[in-house]
Structure 1
Amino acid sequence: MKFSVLASGSTGNALFIESDKTRILIDAGLSGKQLEERMKKIDIDPSTIEAIFVTHEHIDHVRGLGVMARRHQIPVYMNEATWLSLPSTVGEIPEPLQNVLETGAALQFQDLTIESIPISHDAAEPVGYQIRQGRECLATVTDLGYVSKRIVDQVNGADTLIWESNHDVEMLRMGSYPWNVKRRILSDTGHLSNEDAGAALTEILKGIGENVYLAHLSRDNNMSELAHLTVKNILEETGMKVGRDVHLWPTFDDRPTPLREVRIKVKG
């Protein structure tokens, strides 16, 4: 199984995954044209995508959903509450392409097992996803206000984790956002701070060489280097060595990450 984070951040989110038998997207938060351009940068033909799985209805996760579904006749999966809450800008998705995957359910799609994970965010019924092919496992969890025990239990054991590290608390508090927006971001239905991201990872990671991609970073209230350093320091306080026991990687809002294998790297 291989993957690339095509885009991550408040301007758009999309994750490409391919297995031996299929290719899928998790979210389609860029325009159709941008999604196709990002896929071409990693030598992927957009017409080969066989399904799009949606985490929630916010525009930075569904901006290009309708265009991609209609243009390439791609089946779309999400829970019923999210279907009912899609913004009108997505446009009409033909009924034969509409599929319901209820929260907490698992679906066998070609050689992938795709399981929906309930999360806390200010959307209708937001989810993360765990994707398995054989013994390999990738989990993607962003846009959540806090990390429940259920999330910890479900993503524990993932080889690769796409994990939210949205903001630095002090940057957010001192920044120019209106207080009601700051309060939303800091709430249990908002976004994970760098500190909370690191603390949760200490409960999730086993230190056997997992790859963690720090995702959905705020342009205004975070920096990639700061997110990396904060999470690294928290993990290493527990005795875990970053670069040996766990590998931290950046994601980007303006370009895809390299196409990489999901499997765990050998330590050392």
Structure 2
Amino acid sequence: MTNEGFKYSILASGSSGNSFYLETPKKKLLIDAGLSAKKITHLMAEIGCSPKELDAILVTHEHKDHIHGVGVLARKYDLDIYANEKTWQTMDEHNMLGKIATEQKHIFERGKVLTFGDIDIESFGVSHDAADPQFYRFMKDDKSFVMLTDTGYVSDRMAGLIENADGYLIESNHDIEILRSGIYPWSLKQRILSDKGHLSNDDGSETMIRTIGSRTKKIYLGHLSKENNIKELAHMTMENKLSRADFGVGKDFKVYDTSPDTATPLTNI
């Protein structure tokens, strides 16, 4: 019997909106829906899928670029929504999703593993200015993929939880020099650069140096800022730093770009 693993597509990644699609023989899941339901539907069509087929949406945290389309999709297609308790409290308190039926609301505690059909998903906390932000490691048939964006730093504990995955979506949000000299007000610059902000190109590269393993085949650069980064610069920084650390860039694994408005191909892990 062959190990089927699972399929995934990064539907969108960037400061304007984020969404990740995951498919196994038994389940079809969306992790975040930070664009309009119409745009998500269009992005899913790019990879030959439809929101009608989804089983659930997992939420990482309550920022708009991660939940913008969640409520509409959940109501239209009667989808279950999973988030941790503090994230639910914040979303409900500020009516961020609109009316959601109680039976569609589910708790996914930080630090827990939940099984969805034939795939196990582990949540882990990150350092970001949200109520209780968490990201995920997807595991099936001895294969795993890690989603890690929206964190100001990566602790040793977090690095240990995500090491040696087959694939990564890692944050490369900004180039520090572009951000520092850019048009953002100083308070916003401080927020992005803080321990509760976002990983820079250098930070993302350092995280990969700490966590990459012999299984790792694909690294996707995510959550790039339109104002404070350049795709080619993020890509070059990651490849150069990994090469200097004696990793086999382009041989043992490849580095891929993501887009805020085009889905990556549906890929087998």
TM-score range, shorter chain: over 0.9
Q: Does 1:104 align with 2:111?
A: yes
1: distance between equivalents of 2:238 and 2:207? Answer: 10
Please name the residue that 1:169 is paired with: 176
8 Å CA contact retained: 1:207, 1:246 = no
> Between Structure 1 and Structure 2, how many residues are aligned?
262
Structure 2 equivalent of residue 260 of structure 1: 267
**8 Å contact from structure 2 (residues 164, 214) kept in 1:** no
Of the candidates 93, 99, 102, which is equivalent to residue 92 of structure 1? 99
**Structure 2 counterparts to residues 54-69 of structure 1, below 5 A:** 54-69=59-74
1:11-42 Cα shifts (integer Å, max 9, x gaps): 10000000111100110101111111110111
Aligned AA (1:58): H
Q: Distance in 2 between matches of 1:254 and 1:135?
A: 31
In the other structure, the counterpart of 1:142 is: 149
SS of alignment partner, residue 33 of structure 2: coil
Instruction: For 1:51 and 1:136, locate their aligned partners in 2 and report how far apart those are by CA, in whole Å.
Output: 21
- What SS does the corresponding residue of 1:190 show, helix, strand or coil? coil
Matched residue, 1:229: 236
Task: Name 1:205's counterpart in structure 2.
Answer: 212
Contact 1:209 1:247 (C-alpha < 8 Å) held by counterparts? no
Deviations 1:128-178 (A, max 9, x none): 101111211111010000001122111112111111000000000000000
RMSD over aligned CA atoms reads 0.9
Instruction: Write the mapping of 1:13-24 to structure 2, written as runs, cut at 5 A.
Output: 13-24=18-29
Which residue number corresponds to residue 17 of structure 2? 12
**What's the offset of the Cα at 1:85?**
1.1
For the residue of structure 1 that corresponds to 2:198, the secondary structure is coil
Q: Give unmatched runs, 5+ long, in structure 2.
A: 1-5
What is the deviation of 1:206? Answer: 1.7
CA contact (8 A) 2:148 2:171 kept: yes
Matched residues in 2 for 1:89 and 1:112: separation? 29
**How far apart are 1:198 and its partner, in Å?**
0.5
Determine what percentage of the aligned residue pairs are the same residue: 43
Q: Give the aligned partner of residue 47 of structure 2.
A: 42
Q: Verify the 8 A CA contact 1:209 1:244 in the aligned structure 2.
A: no
Note the alpha carbon deviations across 1:75-97, whole angstroms, 9 max, x for none.
00000000011142421111110
Are the equivalent residues in 1 in contact too, given 2:164–2:215 (CA < 8 A)?
Answer: no
Which residue identity is paired with 1:228?
A: H
Q: Following TM superposition, by how much is the alpha carbon of 1:209 offset from its aligned partner in structure 2, in angstroms?
A: 4.5
Equivalent position of 2:33 in the other structure: 28
Q: 1:209 & 1:89 partners in 2: Cα distance?
A: 37
1:238-257 alignment, distance < 5 Å? 238-257=245-264
Classify the secondary structure of the residue corresponding to 1:99: strand
Measure how far apart 1:43 and its partner are.
0.4
Residue type at the aligned position of 1:10: S
Superposed displacement of residue 208, structure 1:
4.4
Question: TM-score, normalized by length of structure 2?
Answer: 0.95
Whether contact under 8 Å (1:32, 1:67) holds in the other structure is yes
The question of whether the paired residues in 1 share the 8 Å contact of 2:165 and 2:216 is answered with no
The corresponding residue for 2:126 is 119
The equivalent residue for 1:133 is: 140
Contact in 2 for aligned 1:207/1:240 (Cα 8 Å): no
